[in-house]
Amino acid sequence: MSNIALTALVFWEFFKIGLFSVGGGPATLPYLMDLTTRFDWFTMEELTNMIAVSESTPGPLGINMATYAGFQTLGIFGGIVATLGLVLPSIIIICLIAAFFTRFNSNRFVQSAFSAIRPAVCAIICVSVLSICRVSLFSSFNIVEKTIEPIWRSIILALATLGLFQIKPLKKIHPFFWFVFGAIIGIAFKF
Protein backbone atom coordinates (compact mmCIF):
# COMPACT_ATOMS: atom_id res chain seq x y z
CA MET A 1 0.00 0.00 0.00
CA SER A 2 1.38 3.41 -0.94
CA ASN A 3 2.03 6.07 1.68
CA ILE A 4 -0.77 8.22 0.25
CA ALA A 5 -3.28 5.36 0.49
CA LEU A 6 -2.08 4.47 4.00
CA THR A 7 -2.32 8.11 5.07
CA ALA A 8 -5.88 8.33 3.69
CA LEU A 9 -6.78 5.08 5.45
CA VAL A 10 -5.36 6.27 8.79
CA PHE A 11 -7.28 9.55 8.44
CA TRP A 12 -10.52 7.74 7.51
CA GLU A 13 -10.28 5.22 10.35
CA PHE A 14 -9.64 7.93 12.95
CA PHE A 15 -12.33 10.14 11.41
CA LYS A 16 -14.81 7.29 11.97
CA ILE A 17 -13.55 6.86 15.54
CA GLY A 18 -13.98 10.58 16.16
CA LEU A 19 -17.46 10.50 14.65
CA PHE A 20 -18.79 7.52 16.59
CA SER A 21 -16.90 7.49 19.91
CA VAL A 22 -19.54 9.30 21.93
CA GLY A 23 -18.33 9.63 25.50
CA GLY A 24 -14.81 10.97 25.14
CA GLY A 25 -11.45 9.25 25.29
CA PRO A 26 -12.46 5.96 26.94
CA ALA A 27 -15.13 5.51 24.26
CA THR A 28 -12.36 5.36 21.64
CA LEU A 29 -10.99 2.15 23.17
CA PRO A 30 -13.33 -0.34 21.45
CA TYR A 31 -12.57 1.24 18.09
CA LEU A 32 -8.84 1.15 18.71
CA MET A 33 -9.16 -2.49 19.78
CA ASP A 34 -10.94 -3.13 16.49
CA LEU A 35 -8.00 -1.57 14.62
CA THR A 36 -5.67 -4.14 16.24
CA THR A 37 -7.71 -6.93 14.63
CA ARG A 38 -8.08 -5.38 11.18
CA PHE A 39 -4.67 -3.79 10.63
CA ASP A 40 -1.09 -4.47 11.65
CA TRP A 41 -0.59 -0.90 12.84
CA PHE A 42 -0.21 -1.92 16.49
CA THR A 43 -0.88 -4.92 18.72
CA MET A 44 -3.16 -5.23 21.72
CA GLU A 45 -0.10 -5.08 23.98
CA GLU A 46 1.03 -1.88 22.25
CA LEU A 47 -2.50 -0.54 22.74
CA THR A 48 -2.20 -1.04 26.49
CA ASN A 49 1.13 0.79 26.35
CA MET A 50 -0.60 3.59 24.41
CA ILE A 51 -3.20 3.83 27.14
CA ALA A 52 -0.49 4.05 29.81
CA VAL A 53 1.39 6.76 27.88
CA SER A 54 -1.82 8.64 27.02
CA GLU A 55 -3.04 8.58 30.60
CA SER A 56 0.29 9.77 31.95
CA THR A 57 0.70 12.69 29.55
CA PRO A 58 -1.26 15.95 29.49
CA GLY A 59 -4.24 16.20 27.19
CA PRO A 60 -7.39 14.26 26.37
CA LEU A 61 -7.02 10.47 26.25
CA GLY A 62 -8.56 10.04 22.79
CA ILE A 63 -6.37 12.67 21.18
CA ASN A 64 -3.23 11.36 22.85
CA MET A 65 -4.05 7.84 21.71
CA ALA A 66 -4.80 8.94 18.15
CA THR A 67 -1.50 10.81 18.02
CA TYR A 68 0.39 7.83 19.42
CA ALA A 69 -1.33 5.32 17.12
CA GLY A 70 -0.79 7.53 14.08
CA PHE A 71 2.86 7.94 15.04
CA GLN A 72 3.21 4.16 15.38
CA THR A 73 1.81 3.76 11.88
CA LEU A 74 3.30 6.65 9.86
CA GLY A 75 5.66 8.58 12.13
CA ILE A 76 5.16 12.26 13.00
CA PHE A 77 3.01 12.92 9.94
CA GLY A 78 0.80 9.95 10.88
CA GLY A 79 0.34 11.37 14.38
CA ILE A 80 -0.87 14.64 12.88
CA VAL A 81 -3.16 12.90 10.37
CA ALA A 82 -4.71 10.57 12.98
CA THR A 83 -5.25 13.44 15.42
CA LEU A 84 -6.83 15.61 12.74
CA GLY A 85 -9.04 12.71 11.68
CA LEU A 86 -10.17 12.18 15.28
CA VAL A 87 -11.00 15.82 16.08
CA LEU A 88 -12.49 16.90 12.74
CA PRO A 89 -15.90 15.23 13.31
CA SER A 90 -16.23 16.96 16.69
CA ILE A 91 -15.39 20.32 15.18
CA ILE A 92 -17.97 19.82 12.43
CA ILE A 93 -20.66 18.59 14.84
CA ILE A 94 -20.01 21.39 17.36
CA CYS A 95 -20.29 24.00 14.61
CA LEU A 96 -23.60 22.47 13.47
CA ILE A 97 -24.93 22.24 17.03
CA ALA A 98 -23.92 25.83 17.75
CA ALA A 99 -25.85 26.96 14.69
CA PHE A 100 -29.03 25.19 15.80
CA PHE A 101 -28.51 25.02 19.57
CA THR A 102 -31.85 26.33 20.78
CA ARG A 103 -33.91 24.00 18.58
CA PHE A 104 -31.49 21.11 19.04
CA ASN A 105 -31.41 21.33 22.83
CA SER A 106 -35.17 21.31 23.33
CA ASN A 107 -36.01 18.66 20.74
CA ARG A 108 -37.60 15.70 22.53
CA PHE A 109 -36.29 13.20 19.96
CA VAL A 110 -32.73 14.38 20.51
CA GLN A 111 -33.19 14.20 24.28
CA SER A 112 -34.62 10.69 23.99
CA ALA A 113 -31.75 9.61 21.76
CA PHE A 114 -29.15 10.90 24.25
CA SER A 115 -30.98 9.19 27.11
CA ALA A 116 -30.49 5.87 25.32
CA ILE A 117 -26.98 6.60 24.05
CA ARG A 118 -25.54 7.23 27.54
CA PRO A 119 -26.15 3.69 28.89
CA ALA A 120 -24.95 2.14 25.62
CA VAL A 121 -21.72 4.15 25.83
CA CYS A 122 -21.32 3.08 29.46
CA ALA A 123 -21.58 -0.59 28.41
CA ILE A 124 -19.07 -0.11 25.59
CA ILE A 125 -16.59 1.50 27.99
CA CYS A 126 -17.10 -1.34 30.52
CA VAL A 127 -16.35 -3.95 27.85
CA SER A 128 -13.18 -2.04 26.95
CA VAL A 129 -12.11 -1.83 30.59
CA LEU A 130 -12.62 -5.57 31.02
CA SER A 131 -10.57 -6.28 27.89
CA ILE A 132 -7.77 -4.02 29.09
CA CYS A 133 -7.85 -5.70 32.51
CA ARG A 134 -7.53 -9.09 30.83
CA VAL A 135 -4.48 -7.93 28.87
CA SER A 136 -2.91 -6.08 31.81
CA LEU A 137 -3.59 -8.61 34.56
CA PHE A 138 -3.21 -11.92 32.75
CA SER A 139 -0.10 -12.92 30.85
CA SER A 140 -1.93 -15.24 28.49
CA PHE A 141 -5.42 -16.29 27.62
CA ASN A 142 -5.84 -19.59 25.81
CA ILE A 143 -9.20 -19.52 24.00
CA VAL A 144 -9.11 -23.23 23.09
CA GLU A 145 -8.35 -24.46 26.62
CA LYS A 146 -10.14 -21.52 28.25
CA THR A 147 -7.29 -21.01 30.68
CA ILE A 148 -5.67 -17.83 31.85
CA GLU A 149 -2.35 -17.23 33.51
CA PRO A 150 -2.73 -14.46 36.09
CA ILE A 151 0.00 -11.95 36.79
CA TRP A 152 -0.39 -11.88 40.56
CA ARG A 153 1.80 -8.84 41.16
CA SER A 154 -0.27 -6.80 38.71
CA ILE A 155 -3.54 -8.00 40.23
CA ILE A 156 -2.34 -7.15 43.75
CA LEU A 157 -1.11 -3.73 42.61
CA ALA A 158 -4.41 -3.02 40.82
CA LEU A 159 -6.45 -4.05 43.89
CA ALA A 160 -4.17 -2.10 46.27
CA THR A 161 -4.41 1.01 44.10
CA LEU A 162 -8.18 0.64 43.84
CA GLY A 163 -8.38 0.26 47.64
CA LEU A 164 -6.13 3.25 48.28
CA PHE A 165 -8.14 5.32 45.86
CA GLN A 166 -11.25 4.73 47.99
CA ILE A 167 -9.70 6.63 50.91
CA LYS A 168 -11.16 10.12 50.71
CA PRO A 169 -7.93 12.17 51.14
CA LEU A 170 -6.17 10.03 48.53
CA LYS A 171 -8.88 10.79 45.96
CA LYS A 172 -7.57 14.35 45.87
CA ILE A 173 -4.13 13.22 44.69
CA HIS A 174 -3.57 14.14 41.06
CA PRO A 175 -3.67 11.14 38.65
CA PHE A 176 -0.09 11.91 37.58
CA PHE A 177 1.13 10.79 41.01
CA TRP A 178 -0.79 7.52 40.73
CA PHE A 179 1.07 6.84 37.47
CA VAL A 180 4.38 7.73 39.10
CA PHE A 181 3.46 5.41 41.99
CA GLY A 182 2.75 2.58 39.51
CA ALA A 183 5.99 3.24 37.64
CA ILE A 184 8.04 3.17 40.85
CA ILE A 185 6.38 -0.06 42.01
CA GLY A 186 6.92 -1.58 38.55
CA ILE A 187 10.62 -0.69 38.58
CA ALA A 188 11.13 -1.75 42.20
CA PHE A 189 9.45 -5.13 41.79
CA LYS A 190 10.43 -5.69 38.12
CA PHE A 191 6.93 -6.19 36.73
Work out the average pLDDT over 24-51. 85
* pLDDT at residue 16 in the model: 93
Cα–Cα distance list, 4 to 26, 30, 38 (Å): 29, 26, 19
Work out the average pLDDT over 22-36. 82
Work out the average pLDDT over 63-73. 88
Q: What confidence tier does 81 reach under pLDDT thresholds 50, 70, 90? A: very high
Q: How many CA atoms lie less than 13 Å away from 74 in the CB half-sphere?
A: 21
